[in-house]
Amino acid sequence: MTLDFDEGDELRALRSAVAELGSRYGHEYFLKQTRSGGRTDELWAEAGKAGFLGVNIPEEYGGGGGGLVELSLVLEELGAAGCGLLMMVVSPAICGTVIAKFGTEEQKQRWLPGLADGSRTMAFAITEPDAGSNSHEIATVARRDGDEWVLNGRKIWISGVDQADAVLVVGRLADAGKGTLRPALFVVPTDAPGLTAHPIPMELVSPERQFQVFLDDVRLPADALVGHPDQGIAQLFAGLNPERVMAAAYSLGVARLAMTKATAYARERKVWGTPIGAHQGLAHPLAACKIEIELARLMTQKAAWLIDQGRDAEAGLAANSAKYAAAEAAARTVDQAVQTHGGAGLSQEYGVGALIALSRVSRIAPVSREMILSFVAQHDLQLPRSY
């Protein structure tokens, strides 16, 4: 069997089209919207109309019929152009994947076309104040009440609730005690009585805001439950591996943007008549960052391909490795970009300083590098469990 590392004409054409769209908006648009308290709705709408947001959604529901390979490529290219759309990680990747795989036909018809063309957006709520990365400690409870479900609980660090039509909420069934992982996923409209969301003040320079979400006796119809109540674990992990791959794609976009800014400055900025990029003290660190970016891209593509092939047993290591590698590449590349610019790297003129928090959060969310290392140590190295 021959390995083929050529993306092919179709994916190259997709990259080119997305890059062209991103360049028409660019990093200045992204920063202007963010610093003025605005959003990137125009870009989101145009990306949806072009079919970019729904490349992974089945064709029969208005999508492109592709997979995570295509969707992660879209996010990477938009990020490299300076306008990465964080909600792509959540709405089409996590929520779209879960509903396409496990939703009823009515749920698919109701949500997937809108997620595909960008006219509807869905947030994802799993993290809780007292649970963190430990899904076994989820305290949000769903109990039956006749033909309805009633949800109670709290969620934190939920992206884009203010721009979402609904939230895919992860809770546990009332007959499963705390510490027992029996999750269930519910589609909760953001205007549902009992659901309130409070923005969290952040240092991130990003148009997508973070929220605390409170669920107080939120009543939902029976069909708000996605899939069968006993399939919750499968549904949950069907969304988490794509989340890691898309987080990697987001980080790659940030890293490539930082590299573009750093190398342009290193070619143009002269000291004593010589471009500073001619000095190995700057050239070598940037070259090392370039290598890290390329390695992370390869792993991201492999992880996306494994998921698209349904090879879930292998996808866990690959998705976590991709997320880890891309986050490290982003953090180091942004740091070196700032160093290359010197004091100018902290000015608003070049937009490099704005990438610092974005790159740093990549090491934390949606799963920290320490949790990834623990996962790999336990599951792939067969070392004793550490938590």
Using alpha carbons, select from 190, 242, 227 the residue that is nearest to residue 108: 227
Q: In this structure, are residues 207 and 160 in contact, taking their beta carbons and an 8 Å threshold?
A: no
The predicted model scores a pTM of: 0.95
Q: Could you say which DSSP state residue 310 is in?
A: T
Residue 114 pLDDT: 98
Q: What share of the chain is helix, strand, coil (3-state, %, to 5)?
A: 55, 15, 30
Distance CA 303, CA 305 (A): 5
Residue 315 pLDDT: 95
Q: Give 377's Cβ-side CA count (13 Å radius).
A: 11
Using alpha carbons, select from 108, 96, 19 the residue that is nearest to residue 60: 108
Q: In this structure, are residues 188 and 123 in contact, taking their beta carbons and an 8 Å threshold?
A: no
Residue 203 pLDDT: 92
Kindly state the helix (H) or strand (E) to which residue 125 belongs, with its residue range.
Answer: strand 122-125
Structure token pair of residue 133: 């990365």
The backbone torsions φ and ψ at residue 6, rounded to the nearest 5 degrees and listed phi first, read -90, 125
Structure token pair of residue 18: 């997305």
Q: Hunting for tokens 């492999």 — which residue is that? A: 302
Structure token pair of residue 331: 């953090």
Q: In this structure, are residues 122 and 116 in contact, taking their beta carbons and an 8 Å threshold?
A: no
- Taking phi over 0 as left and psi of -120 to 50 as alpha, with beta for the rest, 314 belongs to alpha
Structure token pair of residue 86: 């964080």
Distance CA 310, CA 150 (A): 34
Paired residues of 152 in beta bridges: 141
* Weakly modelled stretches of the chain, pLDDT under 70: 1-2, 132-133, 176-181
Paired residues of 191 in beta bridges: none
Kindly state the helix (H) or strand (E) to which residue 149 belongs, with its residue range.
Answer: strand 148-159
Residue 128 pLDDT: 94
Residue 131 pLDDT: 78
